[in-house]
Structure 1
Amino acid sequence: MTANRSSNRLLNGLSDQDYDLISTGLEEVDLPQGFHLATAGQSFNHVYFPCNGIASVIAVSPKGRRAEAGMVGREGFTPIGGLVKASEGPFDIVIQVAGHGLRLKLTALHGPVDSSPALRHLLLRYLVAFNHQVAFTALSNAAHTIDVRLARWILMSQDRMQSSKIALTHDYLSLMLAVRRPSVTIALHMLEGQRLIRSERALVVVRDRSGLEDYAGDAYGAPEREYRRLMDIEPVKTIPRVGAVAPLI
């Protein structure tokens, strides 16, 4: 599949003039599962604009403890530290659902960002939107049960994949939820029992998106609406299907 500007919602939000400032430096790149976009404590040289797939931003403690802090897909770019010329950080950023995208060298980003207030403003607005997602992840981890948190992450993953079928392994789900795999299995069975999803080997199939949103309750929706407000982007329309609604980002 070919990566292009319109497949990444952030790039698609740029004016033609601002896009021209960085377009010559953009290169298509495959994003296979397990590919590291950044490694904790090590310098990185590129920012990535996914057009499909999901990158997991994983906080890593000095003793090596790991937990997912956020996810990035076609709505944004990563690592966000590249915007402020911070070329390393305490995060592993790993492709969890394979896809493709565009990447840009940091040296090709900083000049256009410095010269174009509009480009800088758009990327900074995304930085704020991503911060909202991370904050609500912390809130959800503290306030919601595992099954509700799982419903939230499945919804967030579907937003970025635009498909009812999402390749989510149990290992990834356990990392997302910061729990052991048996707890993931129990939570999946709870959602299956409500006929909201179907769980197969390394695959989750969303059967009833609107029901899944109801199940997630206040765990899902606020950061997604804030993204739309900050980025001034209308929700994507999807092909109608029974029980489904358009994702929020």
Structure 2
Amino acid sequence: MPVPSQRYVRNHLLSILSPDDYEAIQSVAEGVALGRRDILIAANKSITHVYFLESGIGSEVAATPEGRRIEVCITGPEGIVGVPLLLDVDRTPHETFVQIEGDAVRVEATAFRRLIEERRLLRGIFAHYAYVAHLQTAGTALSNGSHTLEERLARWLLMCHDRVDGDEFPVTHEFLSTMLGVRRPGVTTAIHSLEGAGMIKARRSHVQVLDRDKLKAAAGDSYGVPETEYRRLLWARR
């Protein structure tokens, strides 16, 4: 797939680069289609590429030796999959896979490292994103330990809503139970609670956001800190 010109690129980080920095990335990048469950970063293996999502969502997951998994960070068209490479780390114990299918601009790891070594302004923009991703991970840990399941679910749905076009996106109860680290019956109860309050409409394998303001109220202080910092550091550059 061809890499679009900067005028038409949908990834926000790429859209706010200087024309010169964008051309440098474009010269070593390729466009790729991402299918659901595709592995973007394998756990404990060398990171081969970074991905600037144009659409869709990537899910970063931590796992125990016994195989229990929980989501720690999600990425959409606002960011980049492959943050460890920004920190000069070539692998991670976490896996990142495609949660919602889409498209991406992909850059091979060696070429990406060369770019961030040579281009200070480009490196600075990506470093700001790495900071926001860290805040999201910290917020997930805080939410898991301090908030109710309904608050955590509302937060997760808002984060997905932020990253998709429209108000509906695919998700199953089974997937949510894994990502939130809880049993499936608890997820079903939480979904029914949000649905009963008119915030969402759930049907088989999909959720539609009906009232975002109510959903934000339900999430309370579990949602908003990384989003505020993203707007301050990166969205204002647009």
| TM-score of the alignment, normalized to the shorter chain, above 0.5 | yes
Code of the residue aligned with 2:34 in structure 1: it is L
CA displacement 1:24-57 (0-9 Å, x = unmatched): 1111111111000011111121000111111100
Amino acid at match of 2:70: A
In structure 2, give the amino acid aligned to 1:28: G
How is 1:136-215 mapped onto 2 (pairs within 5 angstroms)? 136-215=139-218
- Residue segments in structure 1 that go unaligned for 5+ positions in a row: 236-249
What do you get for the CA RMSD once the two structures are aligned? 1.7
- Report the CA distance between 1:175 and its aligned residue: 1.9
Corresponding residue for residue 69 of structure 1: 72
Indicate the SS of the match to 1:41: coil
Contact 1:58–1:67 (Cα < 8 Å) also in 2: yes
Which 5+ residue runs of structure 2 have no aligned equivalent? none
- Report how far residue 62 of structure 1 moved: 3.4
Residue aligned with 2:101, SS = strand
Query: 1-side partners of 2:56 and 2:192: how far apart?
Result: 25
Whole-Å separation in 2 of the counterparts to 1:141 and 1:132: 14
Contact 2:10 2:54 in 1 (8 A): yes
| Matched residue type, 2:105 | L
CA distance in structure 1 between the aligned counterparts of 2:102 and 2:200, rounded to whole angstroms: 22
Match of 1:238 in 2: none
CA–CA distance in structure 1, aligned partners of residues 66 and 127 of structure 2: 31
Distance across 1 between alignment mates of 2:203 and 2:234: 35
Q: Which secondary structure does the structure 1 equivalent of 2:236 belong to?
A: coil
Matched residues in 2 for 1:232 and 1:34: separation?
29
Question: What SS does the aligned partner of 1:52 have?
Answer: coil
Q: Aligned to 2:79, what secondary structure does the other structure show?
A: coil
Q: Partner of 2:59: helix, strand, or coil?
A: strand
- Which residue pairs with 2:84 in the alignment? 81
TM-score w.r.t. the length of structure 1 is 0.90
Instruction: Return the TM-score normalized by structure 2.
Output: 0.94
TM-superposed CA distance for 1:162, in Å, is: 2.7
1:28 to 28, 31, 43: 31
Matched, 1:95 2:102: no
SS at match of 1:173: helix
Distance 1:166 1:234, change over 3 A: farther
Query: Aligned pairs, how many?
Result: 235
